[in-house]
């Protein structure tokens, strides 16, 4: 990668890492589902010029948008609402990588070698170690909800693969619409006091939820999409493991979060496992692409 692009990918990780703190601050002023709705309202406003009907693709767009915008991100907000810290939740969010591989095995009947199997096992063992830490165990529900959120993200990623013919920014705009409508529906069903929240939320809560929408989604994901179009996934994706590292450091420095040796062990195990799965997945994708290319040449 060029030096400037390495700078961009580092900036993305910083933006995404700090987003865990932003979400934590947002749910101190808003309920989780309401915060998610406001977050995506900001996304829709910014991306409104790119919101358009895509003939023949709206059903797939709607399913993917609901899975990502409502199910995944609601879990993120809910997990951080339940948690006292951000570090363990950020680490657990990386389980989307082994989950994606497991779904490929189950749905696509894909075979998995011992290295990827070991990486998957290591990832889940790391999160289990996190959950058994006395500090984290006090809010184990948040870790569990984030694990479910990681599963939702992996499902959304598979659904998004069907939308390669749709512009990424258009897909992102529809995710925003689904996030607003779905989260509001769930919020008014299971939460209360939404009007009072909007009136009384602090400036910090508003800035945090806006940062999550515009900084993380619009700027962060748009820049990531730019790099993924420019380079192979195998080149870019390992860099994204820096995101939970940034979140952990920011949690300790900015929020004075306690970080124990058990949390460090769990984090290292999880990230090593995710890295192994990421690299092996990328190698497999390259082999499949090469085989397809050779067959096309014949």
Give pLDDT, residue 294: 56
Give pLDDT, residue 233: 64
pLDDT tens for each residue of the chain, 298 residues long = 788 888 998 999 999 999 999 999 999 999 999 999 999 999 999 999 999 999 999 999 999 999 999 999 999 999 999 998 898 999 999 998 888 888 877 876 777 787 888 888 888 898 888 887 888 878 889 999 999 999 999 899 888 888 888 888 999 999 999 999 999 999 999 999 999 999 999 999 999 999 999 999 999 888 888 787 777 766 777 788 889 999 999 999 999 888 888 888 888 888 888 888 878 777 776 665 565 565 555 5
Residue count (the chain): 298
- Residue pLDDT, tens place only, 47-67: 999 999 999 999 999 999 999
Q: What long-range pairs does 155-160 form, CB within 8 A, spacing at least 24? A: 155/67, 155/103, 156/64, 156/67, 156/68, 156/71, 156/72, 157/96, 157/100, 158/100, 158/103, 158/104, 158/107, 159/60, 159/63, 159/64, 159/67, 159/68, 160/64, 160/68
Give pLDDT, residue 292: 56
Give pLDDT, residue 285: 66
HSE of 54, CA atoms in CB hemisphere, 13 A: 19
Q: What long-range pairs does 191-196 form, CB within 8 A, spacing at least 24? A: 191/31, 191/32, 191/33, 191/34, 193/31, 194/31, 194/34
CA distances, 177 to each of 39, 42, 73, 121 (Å): 11, 10, 13, 36
**Helix 168-190 with 32-47: angle, nearest 10 deg:** 150
Distance CA 161, CA 265 (A): 34
Q: Kindly report the pTM of this predicted structure.
A: 0.89
Give pLDDT, residue 289: 59
State in Å, rounded, how far the first CA of the chain is from the last one: 32
């Amino acid at each position: 990668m060029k030096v400037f692009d390495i700078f961009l990918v580092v900036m993305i990780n910083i933006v995404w890492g700090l987003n865990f703190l932003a979400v934590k601050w947002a749910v101190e002023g808003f309920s989780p589902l309401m915060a998610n709705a406001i977050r995506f309202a900001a996304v829709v406003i910014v991306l409104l010029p790119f919101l358009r009907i895509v003939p023949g693709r709206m059903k797939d767009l709607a399913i993917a948008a609901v899975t990502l915008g409502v199910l995944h991100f609601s879990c993120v907000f809910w997990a951080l609402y339940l948690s006292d810290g951000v570090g363990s939740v950020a680490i657990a969010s990386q389980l989307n990588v082994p989950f994606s591989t497991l779904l490929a095995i189950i749905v696509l009947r894909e075979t998995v070698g011992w290295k990827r199997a070991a990486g998957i096992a290591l990832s889940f063992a790391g999160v289990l170690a996190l959950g058994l830490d006395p500090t984290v165990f006090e809010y184990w529900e948040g870790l569990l909800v984030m694990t479910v959120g990681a599963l939702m993200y992996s499902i959304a990623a598979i659904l998004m693969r069907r939308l390669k013919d749709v512009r990424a920014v258009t897909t992102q705009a529809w995710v925003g619409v689904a996030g607003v409508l779905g989260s509001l529906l769930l919020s008014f069903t299971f939460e209360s006091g939404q009007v009072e929240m909007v009136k009384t939320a602090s400036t910090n809560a508003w800035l945090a939820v806006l940062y999550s929408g515009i900084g993380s989604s619009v700027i962060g994901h748009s820049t990531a999409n730019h790099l993924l179009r420019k380079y192979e996934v195998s080149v870019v994706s390992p860099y994204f493991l820096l995101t939970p590292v940034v979140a952990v450091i920011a949690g300790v420095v900015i929020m004075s979060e306690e970080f124990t040796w058990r949390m460090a062990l769990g984090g290292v195990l999880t990230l090593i496992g995710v890295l192994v799965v990421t690299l092996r997945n990328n190698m497999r994708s390259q082999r499949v692409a090469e085989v397809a290319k050779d067959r096309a040449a014949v």
